[in-house]
Amino acid sequence: MNLIFNIAWTHVRTRARQTLIAGFGVATGVGFSIMMASLMEGSQDDFVKTLVNVLPHVTVSDERNKPTLQPAEVRYAAAEIHGLTPEVRRRGIKNPMASIAALEAWVPGKLTPSVTSKGLLRYAGRDVAVSITGIDPRTEGKVSNLETQMRQGELSALYRATNAIILGDRLADKLAAKVGANVTISGSRNVRINGTVVGTFHSGVRQVDDGAAYVLIKTGQILEGQTGLVNEFRVRLTDPMVARSVAARIAAETGYKSVSWEEAQEDLLSAFQVRNIIMFTVVGAILLVASFGTYNIISTITHEKSRDIAIMKSLGLNERTVRRIFVIEAMAIGLAGAVVGSVLGYFMCIGLGTIEIKTPFVDATRLPLKYTINHYVIAAGVALFSSVVAGYFPARKAARVHPVEIIRGAT
């Protein structure tokens, strides 16, 4: 074994330049793979984090999972009467405070009740349709980031004016409404009230900044024309990744529709899967191309060394020994490339992290990068493996050389 390493090392050492180029090929591949993976996963995490920050992890609403049954359907199994409008059900979650108390007992996170309604804001002759959420400023901060997203004013300002309202910053721009402006709020039940803008917020999600407004629960209830109404609970979990199972359990226990953020954003999350497939394809291609460099150098060495191989075989070294020499050389190139590439990748990530950019989707001033040992282990592992495979084929061919053919040719 010692002998094999000795010969392999000598071959690699005496071809320093070629070996360096092949090793650098692998290193570049590994480096860029790491950088790509870091950037892709970093931006994905960043996006998910923004989503998770903006959206409630679980939303429980007063919609029932099943449509209301006709009285006749309740009574008779096979009866169906056409043309009947379903029975109007009183809106809202029944006994909301008791439900919250029951859920708080086991849900790993915080809950806040709210009233959601659709409405129209009118100011200075401009109308904008908005979704209005009635919130409890005391618990809202535990469930959403609204408090930290405030650009002007603060959440508690909702208490300071009659029918106080907080607007998304883009919405405020659209209405040209500044803090202190008196806007008219029209609810969906023909209720019209005058409100005062007491603040603006910026969430970073355009849809929200464009068309969302917050009021007190009480104001929301007035807009919906129903005292004591609570038609939504929003839940923030300590671990957003358990949202799916928590949502399922809430639905099972309360019978109300309960949606996790993952379900609500299914289309986005599946887009990430496509993105990941693209990423792995590109990264795989980079590493594959790098392994061709290894194939090349090992082919060259075995070609140049065909006479030495013939000699070693004529002296009595067997095929396996000769093959191992060249596989070890390939492994050395792959290993050096993987190590150098990991360092290169790390520094490229750091370099990339200093670049400032703005994207239309996320307010990132710096490129989001994820640092995880997995990227390094995978990229280095794949590079090493492909180098060994790339070295194996020329090595096998070289080891099969018939010594007599070479010796005859030389004499």
Partner 1 sequence: MSQPLIEARNVTRVLPGLVPVTLVQSVNLEIRAREFVAITGPSGSGKSSLLYLLGLLDLPTEGDVLIGGQSTTTMSEDERAKVRLSNLGFVFQFHFLLPEFSLTENVALPMRALGALSEDEIRQRAEGLLDSLGLADHRHKRPDQISGGQRQRVAVARALANEPPVLLADEPTGSLDSKSSAQVFDLLRSLVDERGKTVVAVTHDLGLAARMDRRVQIVDGRIVADEKTATAPA
What's the closest the beta carbon of residue 388 comes to partner 1, in angstroms? 23
Choice between 215 and 301, CB closer to partner 1: 301
**Is residue 142 part of the contact set for partner 1 (CB under 8 A)?**
no
Choice between 237 and 312, CB closer to partner 1: 312
In this structure, what is the dihedral angle of CA atoms 346, 347, 348, 349, given to the nearest 10 degrees? 50
Q: Which of residues 54-73 bind partner 1 (CB under 8 A)?
A: none
Q: Which of 313, 323, 324, 375 binds partner 1 (CB under 8 A)?
A: 313
Residues in the chain: 411
Choice between 181 and 407, CB closer to partner 1: 407
- Residue 30: name the closest of 388, 377, 390 by CA: 377
**Is residue 408 part of the contact set for partner 1 (CB under 8 A)?**
yes
**Is residue 312 part of the contact set for partner 1 (CB under 8 A)?**
yes
Choice between 11 and 170, CB closer to partner 1: 11
**Is residue 363 part of the contact set for partner 1 (CB under 8 A)?**
no
Q: Which of 150, 311, 352, 362 binds partner 1 (CB under 8 A)?
A: 311
Q: Which of 194, 207, 281, 318 binds partner 1 (CB under 8 A)?
A: 318
Q: What is the 3-state secondary structure (H, E, C) of the chain?
A: CHHHHHHHHHHHHHCHHHHHHHHHHHHHHHHHHHHHHHHHHHHHHHHHHHHHHHCCCEEEEEEECCCCCCHHHHHCCCCCCCCCCCCCCCCCCCCHHHHHHHHHCCCCEEEEEEEEEEEEEEECCEEEEEEEEEECHHHHHHHCCHHHHEEECCHHHHHCCCCEEEEEHHHHHHHCCCCCCEEEEEECCCCEEEEEEEEEECCCCHHHHHHEEEEEHHHHHHHHCCCCCCCEEEEEECCHHHHHHHHHHHHHHHCEEEEEHHHHCHHHHHHHHHHHHHHHHHHHHHHHHHHHHHHHHHHHHHHHCHHHHHHHHHHCCCHHHHHHHHHHHHHHHHHHHHHHHHHHHHHHHHHHHCCECCCCCCCCCECCCCCCHHHHHHHHHHHHHHHHHHHHHHHHHHHCCCHHHHHHHHC
Choice between 315 and 355, CB closer to partner 1: 315
What's the closest the beta carbon of residue 313 comes to partner 1, in angstroms? 7
**Is residue 404 part of the contact set for partner 1 (CB under 8 A)?**
yes
What's the closest the beta carbon of residue 26 comes to partner 1, in angstroms? 23
Choice between 282 and 311, CB closer to partner 1: 311
**Is residue 397 part of the contact set for partner 1 (CB under 8 A)?**
no
Judged by CB under 8 A, how many residues of this single chain contact partner 1?
27
**Is residue 315 part of the contact set for partner 1 (CB under 8 A)?**
yes
**Farthest CA pair distance, the chain:** 107
Find out whether 137 and 158 touch, Cβ atoms under 8 Å: yes
Q: Which of 3, 16, 79, 277 binds partner 1 (CB under 8 A)?
A: 3
What's the closest the beta carbon of residue 20 comes to partner 1, in angstroms? 17
> How far apart are the C-alpha atoms of 100 and 157, rounded to whole Å?
25
**Is residue 11 part of the contact set for partner 1 (CB under 8 A)?**
yes
Q: Which of residues 165-194 bind partner 1 (CB under 8 A)?
A: none
Q: Helix axis angle, 306-315 relative to 266-304, nearest 10°? A: 70
Q: Which of 86, 125, 316, 360 binds partner 1 (CB under 8 A)?
A: 316
Choice between 363 and 405, CB closer to partner 1: 405
Choice between 170 and 323, CB closer to partner 1: 323
Stretch that binds partner 1, among 153-161, 226-234, 380-388, 402-410 (CB under 8 A): 402-410
**Is residue 265 part of the contact set for partner 1 (CB under 8 A)?**
no
Q: Which of 131, 148, 194, 314 binds partner 1 (CB under 8 A)?
A: 314
**Is residue 306 part of the contact set for partner 1 (CB under 8 A)?**
no
Choice between 125 and 316, CB closer to partner 1: 316
**Is residue 235 part of the contact set for partner 1 (CB under 8 A)?**
no
Q: Which of 45, 154, 173, 308 binds partner 1 (CB under 8 A)?
A: 308
46 burial via Cβ count (<10 Å: 0-12, 13-18, 19+):
buried
Please report, as ranges, the residues that interact with partner 1 according to CB under 8 A.
Answer: 2-3, 6-7, 10-11, 13-14, 307-308, 311-321, 403-404, 407-408, 410-411
